[in-house]
């Protein structure tokens, strides 16, 4: 049984225990965006900015049916894209980014989603988080680590880092966890953040990793 002394372990050692516990409690952890192709996941992830996966999944069936490939987005009616994604928020910017992104896909990659972080982040509306989501879940490439609001919050709460900037948090987590686990780790932290360690009312009493959390008093 894990004791309170584990809270005092160095971050690297606690990271090993944390990963094992989260794997045990969330064996089915996965990306909760619905998609059936690399392009669909890319578009869904762009839409997920400042929006819940649940909301994105309500929007994407009609969007994907109306725009089945990069050419359809690139040459399609921007107003129609805006209408279909309106409820995800920031729909003007998201629609423009989606269309510009797909135009670049046609110009540079024959309409296909590229397989490197550098190529992905060169696309309109695609930052490191979006690129890492696509690389990890579609191509099984752990070039970086997804840092969304859940990963950021839990990384700080669990004492893995004091950094607040996503890029710095990503760098710290990459140094603490094995590269082959980066994609899964993000899923595990996101699932735990949604199901137990929520932003406003974390369920510390029933938390599966409470013995590793410095936020919970020792004694």
Just list the catalytic residues. Answer: 129, 148
Rounded Cα–Cα distance for residues 153 and 156 (Å): 5
Q: Which two tokens stand for residue 45?
A: 């992830």
Q: Which two tokens stand for residue 32?
A: 């909760």
Query: Quick check: 29 and 188 in contact, CB under 8 A?
Result: yes
Complete DSSP assignment for 101-147: HHHHHHHHHTTPPPSSHHHHHTSTT--HHHHHHHHHHHS---SS---
Rounded Cα–Cα distance for residues 38 and 114 (Å): 9
Residues 6+ apart with CB under 8 A from 25: 192, 208
Residues 6+ apart with CB under 8 A from 93: 125
């Amino acid at each position: 049984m894990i004791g309170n002394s584990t809270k005092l372990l160095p971050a690297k050692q606690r990271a090993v225990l944390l990963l094992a516990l989260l794997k045990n409690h969330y064996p089915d952890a996965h990306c909760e965006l619905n998609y059936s192709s690399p392009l669909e996941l890319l578009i869904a992830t762009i839409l997920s900015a400042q929006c819940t996966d649940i909301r994105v999944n309500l929007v994407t069936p009609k969007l994907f049916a109306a725009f089945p490939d990069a050419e359809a987005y690139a040459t399609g009616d921007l107003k129609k894209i805006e209408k279909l994604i309106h409820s995800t928020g920031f729909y003007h910017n998201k629609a423009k980014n989606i269309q510009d992104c797909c135009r670049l896909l046609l110009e540079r990659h024959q309409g296909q989603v590229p397989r490197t972080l550098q190529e992905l982040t060169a696309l309109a509306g695609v930052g490191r988080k979006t690129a890492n989501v696509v690389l990890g879940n579609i191509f099984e490439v752990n070039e970086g680590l997804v840092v969304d609001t859940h990963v950021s919050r839990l990384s700080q709460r669990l004492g893995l880092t004091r950094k607040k900037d996503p890029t710095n948090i990503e760098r710290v987590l990459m140094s603490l966890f094995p590269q082959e686990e980066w994609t899964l780790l993000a899923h595990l932290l996101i699932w735990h953040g949604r199901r137990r360690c929520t932003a406003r009312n974390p369920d510390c009493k029933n938390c599966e990793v409470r013995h590793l959390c410095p936020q919970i008093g020792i004694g």
